[in-house]
A = this chain, B = another copy of it.
């Protein structure tokens, strides 16, 4: 496939026209009705995760992010969910590029699956983001990252042109390094998309990020705003507060300090390393993804290796306890993660002691509440000094709150406002914030996954037609092969198990050969259910013999149905459980 793109570096934004509606006279335009920018969020507008947005100007397409969503409770056995890209089928050659806002999995996690399906369009991102995409690609299939066409945003001031899309970028505070906001200028409108963002009110060692300059972009501007914080009225913990608390806990720790955080929290890891070096403590990292990410960050120069501070995890016992800091993964209670292994006493090097200090420098990802409660139970059993966000400000969130959303909208002052990257009710609450500060209803769009929002000279609207947005499940090697039927079976199996009845009958007479075989799992404890099984066999035999005794040819399919229903009902009466009943009749 042939792909043309031009990497242009300019230093300033070309226009700052004030007219909201008809910003540019396009002389090259043949068919004015065609002069549409269509924005299609393929994911990220009805859930947290699988963020992916398509920008389509005439025939050209630009994509932002390709994330995964972690499965909901009823998506049993599913590894993750990816955006549905049916809309892009047949348009692969029109894709000019894919911009990645930052390296979190809900923004890059589906890249290794989708890029290939889309013919490997060029990918654009900051160095850490691109390196993380490459690593995930290699993880899924060794050597495959060579197929990626990468365009690094080396400098945040870089400008690029992809067909009709003029791209520029801006700095964003978020819980991962190299997070960027993207500006997409098209002939009809300018899109401003901060990706995931927050306003850091107390940054440590750097100045506050302001967005007022974005108000000067060529109008009409469209602000697409991640709105996870739209129902959060709590005051944010600032980075400085958090670091002060971490420093005080680390410096006064009577034993070792174990800090669990997200493996992508490289800034915090760097800050702890610096502080450790300053007060003469040693730091060991543990957790596969954390070690990997720190390696990448070191290679990129984002984490400075401080001589004599970093030690290997198997060397922690060579130092006095109160000189040792361990930074590790597992704050979400993930099975087999470092913290889980510590709690279950199966970690090779860390045996938690009563006077160790454990700090969960992390938030609770929705859905993980109960698992994290159990994790805390386990840690508190082993250790007297446990700190987490409920007790002390030891974590600063990467997302904004309601007042920040209001502030950023005011600073950017866009023509249109489209809340995205959150649950539907959060988008609605973000929209309400916009209304409150003066936006009219026709300037705010709350999209669904698959919504097509069209901008042109005469204004903007959501089209009636929608892009397909059904779930695409990834389970093992299968992408999209698990559907409703398999999932529903898993749900029934999970609830009440299964019950297979195998009967061999004589082909000519239909008479039963020997007592039916029963296989059951997840239903009852078979050894203690002998009477139930015996009675089931009796009932099954009776059904078969009645059918066979008529003398006519037996309709085995209807006999199977009868077994299924009658044995199903019988088991329900006896146990109030409804396993999947599967009758098998074998004619010999």
Contact = CB atoms under 8 A, between A and B. Distances in A.
A367 B502 CA distance: 40
A482 B231 CA distance: 41
Question: What range describes how many residues of A lie at the interface?
Answer: 35 or more
Contacts of A491: 494
Interface stretch (A205-213, A271-279, A310-318, A574-582): A574-582
A485 B425 contact: no
Nearest to A46: B377
A447 to B, nearest CB: 13
Return the 9 tightest CB-CB contacts between A and B, nearest first. Answer: A476-B576, A494-B494, A493-B493, A231-B390, A376-B425, A490-B522, A77-B495, A380-B425, A489-B522
Given A369-B369, A376-B423, A502 B584 contact: yes
Determine the main DSSP class of A at the interface with B. mixed
Interface of A: 46, 72-73, 76-77, 231-233, 366-367, 369-371, 373-374, 376-377, 379-381, 386, 390-391, 423-425, 428-429, 475-478, 481-483, 485-486, 489-491, 493-498, 500, 502, 504, 513, 517, 519, 521-525, 528-529, 574-577, 580, 582, 584, 586, 588
14 contacts: A73-B73, A76-B494, A77-B577, A377-B423, A475-B575, A476-B576, A477-B574, A482-B524, A485-B525, A489-B522, A498-B521, A502-B586, A517-B586, A521-B582
Given A370-B367, A493-B498, A504-B588, A481 B525 contact: yes
A486 B377 contact: no
A380 B231 contact: no
A48 to B, nearest CB: 8
Contact of A233 (B390, B481, B504, B528): B390
Nearest to A233: B390
Contacts of A519: 500, 582, 584
Contacts of A72: 370, 374
Given A380-B428, A486-B497, A502-B502, 20 more contacts: A73-B73, A77-B494, A231-B390, A366-B370, A369-B369, A373-B425, A374-B423, A376-B425, A380-B424, A476-B575, A477-B575, A478-B575, A481-B524, A481-B528, A486-B521, A486-B522, A489-B522, A490-B494, A493-B493, A504-B504
Given A366-B369, A370-B72, A584-B517, A522 B77 contact: yes
Contact of A576 (B373, B423, B477, B522): B477
Contacts of A379: 425
Nearest to A582: B519
Contacts of A386: 425, 428
Nearest to A588: B588
Contact of A496 (B77, B522, B525): B77
A512 B426 CA distance: 61
Nearest to A79: B576
Contact of A381 (B373, B424, B504, B586): B424
A393 to B, nearest CB: 10
A485 B524 CA distance: 9
Among A374, A481, A493, max chain B CB count under 10 A is at: A493
Given A493-B493, A493-B498, A577 B476 contact: yes
Given A370-B367, A425-B380, A588-B588, A521 B76 contact: no
Contacts of A584: 500, 502, 517, 519
Contacts of A73: 73, 370-371
Contacts of A233: 390-391
Contacts of A496: 77
A544 to B, nearest CB: 15
B504 A586 contact: yes
Contact of A580 (B521, B577, B586): B521
Nearest to A583: B519
Contacts of A529: 481
A142 to B, nearest CB: 16
B523 A232 contact: no
A373 B366 contact: yes
A498 B495 CA distance: 14
Given A379-B425, A588-B504, A525 B390 contact: no
A537 to B, nearest CB: 15
A330 to B, nearest CB: 16
Nearest to A424: B377
Given A373-B423, A377-B46, A497 B489 contact: yes
Contact of A522 (B373, B424, B493, B500): B493
Given A424-B380, A502-B502, A584-B502, A489 B77 contact: no
